[in-house]
């Protein structure tokens, strides 16, 4: 991995400003928002694991603080690291399309990641995504715990194995737990599904279509369940 340049520090400063501006447009305000903004500012200075040394900036969660659904991804990718916002790159595009097909407005859900810094291996000018290890996931669980205790979403969706490990605090096999709610200690429930990047990596068009349909079906079930729980 490569250390941060001065340009990256400037990008990080813009990222924080944009993230705060975007969040302030979203209700509710008051103490909840103030607590969340304090958390965001604190997270920007996180040194709980070594990943802060290499990424451009912390990529915190975003979305309404009264959201009934919280989506949790793995970690920011290259574009998220530069923008300071989750799911804005290629995986974000797949995610957005699936949300739309499932009738879920992205502006109404909270979107975050299990690990808040981009982990990569430098290959020439390219930064290649590298999976976070157990220690990095564990170090970052503190932040997701804080986000969850402020937002208290009735439904939390783990997108992929890293997110599931962080939310459930154990290793699970996606195909075994997919499609049914798992109870969480705070009274909410966790739904596990695949990560949008998995859908991007499927080489065969037919299978890719099939898996995308299954993903949208999961999201529809999740949408209905969240509506049921908040009626």
Q: How far is the CB of 86 from ligand URA (least distance, A)?
A: 4
Q: How far is the CB of 76 from ligand URA (least distance, A)?
A: 5
Q: How far is Cα 163 from Cα 165, in angstroms, rounded to an integer?
A: 5
Partners of residue 183 on adjacent β-strands: 189
Instruction: Judge whether 215 and 57 are in contact, CB under 8 Å.
Output: no
CA separation, residue 209 to residues 57, 76, 98 (Å): 34, 25, 12
Q: Does 74 bind ligand URA (CB under 6 A)?
A: yes
Q: Which residue has the tokens 């590298």?
A: 130
Q: Does 58 bind ligand URA (CB under 6 A)?
A: no
Q: Does 80 bind ligand URA (CB under 6 A)?
A: yes
The binder of ligand URA chosen from 55, 61, 86, 132 (CB under 6 A) = 86
67, with CB counted inside 10 A (0-12, 13-18, 19+), is buried
Partners of residue 126 on adjacent β-strands: 123
Partners of residue 129 on adjacent β-strands: 120
Q: Does 193 bind ligand URA (CB under 6 A)?
A: no
Q: Does 75 bind ligand URA (CB under 6 A)?
A: yes
Q: Does 76 bind ligand URA (CB under 6 A)?
A: yes
Q: How far is the CB of 155 from ligand URA (least distance, A)?
A: 18
* Residues between 107 and 146 that touch ligand URA (CB under 6 A): 113
Please report, as ranges, the residues that interact with ligand URA according to CB under 6 A.
73-77, 80, 86-87, 89, 91-92, 113, 197
């Amino acid at each position: 991995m490569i250390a941060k340049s001065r340009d990256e520090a400037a990008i990080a400063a813009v990222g924080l400003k944009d993230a705060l501006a975007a969040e302030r447009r979203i209700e509710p305000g008051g103490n909840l928002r103030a607590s969340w903004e304090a958390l965001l500012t604190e997270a920007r200075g996180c040194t709980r694991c070594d990943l802060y040394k290499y990424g451009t900036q912390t990529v915190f969660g975003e979305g309404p603080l009264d959201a009934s659904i919280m989506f949790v991804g793995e970690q920011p990718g290259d574009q998220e690291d530069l923008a300071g916002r989750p799911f804005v790159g290629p995986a974000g595009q797949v995610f957005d399309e699936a949300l739309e097909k499932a009738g879920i407005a992205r502006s109404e859900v909270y979107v975050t990641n299990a690990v808040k810094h981009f982990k990569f291996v430098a290959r020439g000018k390219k930064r290649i995504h590298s999976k976070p290890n157990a220690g990095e996931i564990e170090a970052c669980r503190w932040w997701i715990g804080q986000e969850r205790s402020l937002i208290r979403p009735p439904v939390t969706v783990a997108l992929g194995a890293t997110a599931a490990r962080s939310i459930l605090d154990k290793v699970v096999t996606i195909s075994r737990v997919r499609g049914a709610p798992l109870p969480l200690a705070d009274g909410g429930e966790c739904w596990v599904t695949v990560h949008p990047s998995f859908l991007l990596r499927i080489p065969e068009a037919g299978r890719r279509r099939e898996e995308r349909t299954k993903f949208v079906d999961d999201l529809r079930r999740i949408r209905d369940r969240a509506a049921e729980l908040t009626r």
